[in-house]
């Protein structure tokens, strides 16, 4: 089983749609969880950290289920500017290194 698995997509959705991304991780000792967004030929930018209690930032909602080792990201009312690759990222172990999923590509169309 891969350490962090994501559906690679692409997800092609119309503006205004709601889209959900899922991610699973294999290391039950993982401590921190993140969603990063990466535009073409740019660096990853932190979108949000993910907590067991769930967290919301505007149109974006992230959820963590530790029992199922599952992370989700929900984007409501998609905008053209949301088009990017979304990376599920897990940190674990004493070295704190990040484990990246392969990313899910989102394309929002007019």
Partner 1 sequence: DTEVTQTPKHLVMGMTNKKSLKCEQHMGHRAMYWYKQKAKKPPELMFVYSYEKLSINESVPSRFSPECPNSSLLNLHLHALQPEDSALYLCASSQILAGEGNTQYFGPGTRLTVL
Residues that bind partner 1 (CB under 8 A): 31-32, 34, 41-46, 49, 87, 91, 93-98, 100-103
Nearest approach, Cβ of 51 to partner 1 (angstroms)? Answer: 11
Nearest approach, Cβ of 15 to partner 1 (angstroms)? Answer: 25
Judged by beta carbon, residue 16 or residue 93, the one nearer partner 1 is: 93
Judged by beta carbon, residue 1 or residue 41, the one nearer partner 1 is: 41
Nearest approach, Cβ of 10 to partner 1 (angstroms)? Answer: 11
Nearest approach, Cβ of 24 to partner 1 (angstroms)? Answer: 15
Contact of 62 with 55, CB cutoff 8 Å: yes
Q: How far is CA 89 from CA 61, 96, 104, in A?
A: 16, 12, 12
The CA distance from 78 to 85, in Å, is 14
Judged by beta carbon, residue 17 or residue 100, the one nearer partner 1 is: 100
Q: In terms of C-beta density within 10 A (0-12 exposed, 13-18 middle, 19 or more buried), how is residue 100 classed?
A: middle
Report CA 85 to chain centroid distance, whole Å.
Answer: 9
């Amino acid at each position: 089983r891969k350490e962090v698995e994501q559906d690679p997509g692409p997800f092609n959705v119309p503006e205004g749609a709601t889209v959900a991304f899922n991610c699973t991780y294999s290391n039950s000792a993982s401590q921190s969880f993140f969603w990063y967004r990466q535009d073409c030929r740019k660096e990853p930018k932190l979108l949000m950290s993910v907590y067991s209690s769930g967290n919301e930032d505007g149109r974006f909602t992230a959820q963590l289920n530790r029992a199922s080792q599952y992370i989700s990201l929900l984007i409501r009312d998609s905008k053209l500017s949301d088009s990017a690759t979304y990376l599920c990222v897990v940190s674990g172990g004493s070295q704190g290194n990040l484990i990246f999923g392969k990313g899910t590509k989102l394309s929002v169309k007019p």
